[in-house]
Amino acid sequence: MARLRKKPGFLYITVMQIQLENLVPVPLRDKVLQRSSDIWNREITFTPGHFVKIKAPSGTGKTTLVHYLYHIRYDYTGKVLVDGKLWQSYNKEVIATMRQQQVSVIFQDLRIFEQLTAEENIELKRVMTPQPYCTSEKVKEMAARLNVTHILSQSGKTLSYGERQRIAIIRALVQPFKWLIMDEPFSHLDEENAKRAAELIGEECRARGAGFILTDLDHDTRFAYDSHYNL
Amino acid sequence: MMQSFFGLLRKIIQTGIGKTRLVMATLGLAIAMLLLLLAIQAHTDFDQLLHSQQNQNESADFLVINKKITNAMMGQPAKSEFSPEEIADIKKQSFTDAFGFITSNQFKVTAAAPGELHFYTDMFFESVPDAFIDVKNEDWKWNTGDNTIPIILPNDFLNLYNFGFALSQDLPQISQETVKALPMKITISKGLITQEFTGRIVGFSDRISSFLVPGNFMEWANQKFGNGEITAPSRVIIKTKDPSNPVLVQYLDDKGYTTNQDKIKYSKTKMIVQTIVSVIGFFGIVLLLFALLVFSMFIQLVIASCKREIQLLVTLGTAPRQLRRYLMRQFIPLYIVTGVVALLVLAGLQWWASGILATHDMFVAPMLSVFTFGAAILVVLLVYIVNLLNVRKYVAEIS
């Protein structure tokens, strides 16, 4: 694993500038082209370190966009460029390194391993890199701030959506990143917990000098956003 | 409780699903390895039985070959001569390490014992290149003008005399030392030209049944007393690593040549053993292929059954390299344990067999040969590489 750190690929991808060029999802093509959007079929640069909010009503391709940005779906025309290079031009090992070090994600469908406990789900991500970015004490601290300490040893299968969402948030925050991509990260949380989560996320992003791209259905004032887009 | 990444992977990628397959593959690998190594070890052991100094007289490495004298050939000495083509053919055979002619005299030779022994006989000489002679002696040399000729007698000749002739004729038995001390009066002649020499026995050969004189003497004498024609040799000598080599025996048989049958008596046994060993080795290889196939099926099953989990792992940033390493780590201990067990079982067998054989005065090493160890390492490497390629392929397919 020592080789991973020596990889030149890791060193030059420190900026993580994300650019979209005429991005159009193939399945939503007609729908997207009929109405005006700040994102689809435009040229956009997400400046590193910015807090970006993308407001997206249902059915406009919000989750699809998140998957394009994180490069787990490829059914689009146009380009997604990372540091000036197509996502497709990075090989699988480099992409894995980037997902461990440069870009983190909170999926709308949360994607928790049900065969692991809540704590193991977080630990999996923490020890995926040979030298973990944060300590397990830090994990405990974050769990305490999000009121999930008591469910850490519960199986992923038995967690409620709200609990899963908070575990997914903590899991996304145990790694280093330049961008945090979030898809409706507070959808299953009550106001109090959403506030706490937003605070934690804001702190962690500032600590890393990182930016985020957050998609949500509505307007909100949880963060001091640098830019707003309507999907 | 802290857990390693691979510890967590173990909970996600369940390898238990194909346990039967894995057990079958490992068992197949173990048996395949045992058969293969057994074949190699048996081969080495048999070689050792035939060739080691302890088991065999080293003179077996030299064969004197001549044509079989048949009734039809009698009275036509030319028919027992080797033609240049036949000689070239023998030389180019893979079993021929060295080749030499046995040169005969083309003159008349008589020998007489000195003093009062009243021993007189017609005789003959032959010569072979020095490299083929098993008697190493400083006196074995002749320079033009020397009046003394060194002679090597066959050991059998002295034995015939001492135990056959002398006893029945009430003559004294003679020791090797005495024979060496006796100067013989050798007369060689052609027509009216004669020359006398003193013959000295310098040694006794087990390898060549003939009266040998140095090659340069033979050349000189044949020139001076011979008829000037260079006659083709009717006996040749070859050096060979393995006189029981079935190829050699078959060759001699095909050409109608003959040699000391005692030296090639192991040929048939060797052929049988080689066949058995090859069959065992063949089954070992077939079984190894099946084991590899089952391993491959196991890998495919595990990866297919955990497809969603593996895809999520990759989504979360797990490198394909990490997955490959995790999966291979499930196998490597199996290979090593299998290899070690196979070697241990074989080492036990070898030790036991060596003990049994030793009671029959046959010696094989009580330890396994390096080839066997080398083969075990090769098999483990092969299985490792094939499995790694499989893992690489299936991981790449879904990640």
Reduced to 3 states, what is the DSSP secondary structure of residue A211?
Answer: strand
Query: B219 and B85 in one domain?
Result: yes
Residues of B in contact with A120 (CB under 8 A): 3, 8, 11
| Alpha-helical segments (H) within chain B | 5-12, 19-51, 84-92, 155-159, 166-169, 176-181, 215-225, 246-255, 266-305, 307-315, 320-359, 370-398
Contact A100 B317 (CB under 8 A): yes
Is A6 in CB contact (< 8 Å) with chain B? no
Work out how many domains chain B is built from and give that number: 2
Same domain assignment for residues B15 and B51 = yes
Looking at the structure, do residues B292 and B216 belong to the same domain, yes or no? no
- Shared domain for B119 and B168, answered yes or no, is yes
- My answer on whether B93 and B204 are in the same domain is yes
Q: Which residues of A touch B314 (CB under 8 A)?
A: 92, 96
Q: Is the pLDDT of residue A91 over 70?
A: yes
**Is A123 part of the contact surface with chain B (CB cutoff 8 Å)?**
yes
Rg (CA), chain A: 17
* Pick from B12, B309, B319: CB nearest A93: B319
| Closest CA–CA distance from residue A196 to any residue of chain B (Å) | 24
Among the candidates B265, B280, B308, a domain finishes at B265
Does the beta carbon of A155 lie under 8 angstroms from any beta carbon of chain B?
no
What is the β-pairing status of strands B193-205 and B148-154? parallel
Residue pLDDT, tens place only, B161-197: 888 888 888 888 888 888 888 888 888 888 888 888 8
Give B325→chain A minimum CA distance, Å.
Answer: 10
pLDDT of A7 reads 44
Same domain, B294 and B393: yes
Across the interface, whether the CB atoms of A120 and B3 are under 8 A apart is answered yes
* Last residue of one domain, picked from the residues B206, B233, B265: B265
Asked whether the beta carbons of residue A116 and residue B8 sit closer than 8 angstroms, the reply is: yes
Looking up tokens 């260079």, which residue turns up? Answer: B230
pLDDT digits (tens, 9 = 90+) for B315-348: 999 999 999 999 998 888 888 999 999 999 999 9
Average pLDDT, chain A: 90
> What's residue A99's pLDDT?
93
Q: Would you call A98 helix, strand, or coil by DSSP?
A: helix
Shared-domain flag, residues B80 and B216: yes
Best to test chain A binding among B1, B3, B5 (most A CBs inside 10 Å):
B5
The 10s digit of each residue's pLDDT in A144-186 is 999 999 999 999 999 999 999 999 999 999 999 999 999 999 9
**Tokens 């780590």 sit on residue:** B329
The confidence score (pLDDT) of residue A1 equals: 36
B326 and B286, same domain (yes or no)? yes
CB pair distance less than 8 Å for A96 and B2: no
Give the residue ranges of chain B where pLDDT is below 50. 1, 55-60
Q: How far is CA A197 from CA A35, A161, A181, A191, in A?
A: 34, 15, 15, 10
Report chain B residues whose CB lies below 8 A from the CB of A127.
3-5, 8
Model pLDDT, residue B53: 53
8 Å CB contact of B316 and A120: no
**How confident is the model at residue B129, as a pLDDT?**
86
Nearest residue in chain A measured CA to CA from B14: A115
Q: What is the pLDDT of residue B116?
A: 65
Q: Mind telling me how many Å the CA of B306 is from chain A's nearest CA?
A: 12
- The ipTM of this complex is 0.90
Which residues of chain A have a CB within 8 Å of the CB of B316? 99, 111, 124-125, 128, 171
User: Does the CB of A7 have a partner CB in chain B at under 8 Å?
Assistant: no
Chain B residues bordering chain A (beta-carbon distance below 8 Å):
2-5, 8, 11-12, 309, 312, 314-322, 396, 399
Query: What are the structural domains, with CATH classification, of chain A?
Result: 2-230 (3.40.50.300)
Nearest to B316 among A97, A99, A120 (CB): A99
Chain B: nearest CA to A128, how far in angstroms?
6
A96 touches chain B (CB under 8 A): yes
Q: Could you tell me whether strands B62-67 and B120-123 are parallel, antiparallel, or unpaired per DSSP bridges?
A: unpaired
Do the Cβ atoms of A120 and B11 come within 8 Å?
yes
Same domain for B9 and B139: no
State which residue of chain A sits closest to B397, comparing Cα positions. A92
Q: How confident is the model at residue A2 (pLDDT cuts 50, 70, 90)?
A: very low
pLDDT value at residue A5: 43
Between A and B, how many residue pairs show a Cβ–Cβ distance under 8 A? Answer: 63
**A49 contact partners, CB below 8 Å, separation of at least 6:** A209, A210, A211
Look at residue B59 in the predicted model and tell me its pLDDT. Answer: 44
CA B97/CA B243 separation, integer angstroms:
11
Q: Which of A102-106, A211-215, B261-265, B334-338 has the lowest mean pLDDT?
A: B261-265
Are B89 and B210 in a shared domain?
Answer: yes
Is A125's Cβ below 8 Å from some Cβ in B? yes
Q: Does A8 have pLDDT greater than 50?
A: no
Chain-chain contact of A116 with B12 (C-beta, under 8 angstroms):
yes
- Chain A residues with CB inside 8 Å of B11's CB? 115-116, 120
Q: Does A128 touch chain B (CB under 8 A)?
A: yes
Domain that holds residue B376: 5-55+268-398
Check CB contact under 8 Å for B3 and A115.
no
Both tokens of B293, joined, read 């196939």
Identify the pLDDT of residue B52. 61
| CA atoms of B243 and A187, how far apart (whole Å) | 88
Same domain for B149 and B11, yes or no, is: no
Q: Packing angle between helix A136-145 and helix A191-208, nearest 10 degrees? A: 150
The residues with which B288 forms a beta bridge, in sequence order, are: none
CA–CA distance, B295 with B386 (Å, rounded to integer):
9
Asked if B314's CB is within 8 angstroms of A115's CB, the reply is: no
The reply to whether B252 and B273 lie within a common domain is no
Q: Identify which of B308, B341, B380 has the alpha carbon closest to the alpha carbon of residue B13.
A: B308
Among B265, B289, B317, residue at a domain's last position: B265
What does the pLDDT read at residue A189? 94
Calculate helix-pair angle for B307-315, B370-398, nearest 10 degrees. 80
pLDDT at position A11 over 50: no
Phi-psi region of B169 (alpha: psi -120 to 50; beta: other; left: phi over 0): alpha
